[in-house]
Structure 1
């Protein structure tokens, strides 16, 4: 939070969320006031249909990787959850969590990235 907002919040009693809105907007006058957007119910999304995973543990057998071994998680819009066990950039492969012990390799890059 900005110091101007903190100072104004100390002096103004807050009774509703609209009081925060007014305080934030009027905290700074010059060179221009803060832009504050009021949210309505259309802003929030429905997460009722989102699929969930029981566990993100990569393996279930003895000696298999555990959650502590995960280094990178990647969530894709189609509901796939992929992970990496190392920070190594040479492979560019993610392993995909699909269910119990079903792993599929996904290649992220087909060419080397150019350095500028």
Structure 2
């Protein structure tokens, strides 16, 4: 169970690295526009805000990776950062798009559940 939890947590971290790239570097590029369903004008107007959001996603990924690298000693760090991801996902679902619940919060909740069972 511990190996499965680590795999899911690593995937959550990779997702957040992907979000970082989308928000910090591709926000106003075709891939970013498509991912977030925006028009170029809107993306240009919000580019700095998106970069800031992307940086926070990078911190979430870094925390999860840090926890994984510590092994069993990093369980409390993994729990903390998974909870942060879940809260961010729920908030995003309530304020921006319901699909964030499934893309961000659900994988983190799965990882947290597996971690608790390990």
**TM-score normalised over the length of structure 2:** 0.22
Larger relative contact order, structure 1 or 2 (CA cutoff 8 Å, min sep 6) = 2
Return the index of the structure with the highest Cα Rg.
Answer: 1
Q: Which has the higher strand share?
A: 1
Q: Which has the higher helix share?
A: 2
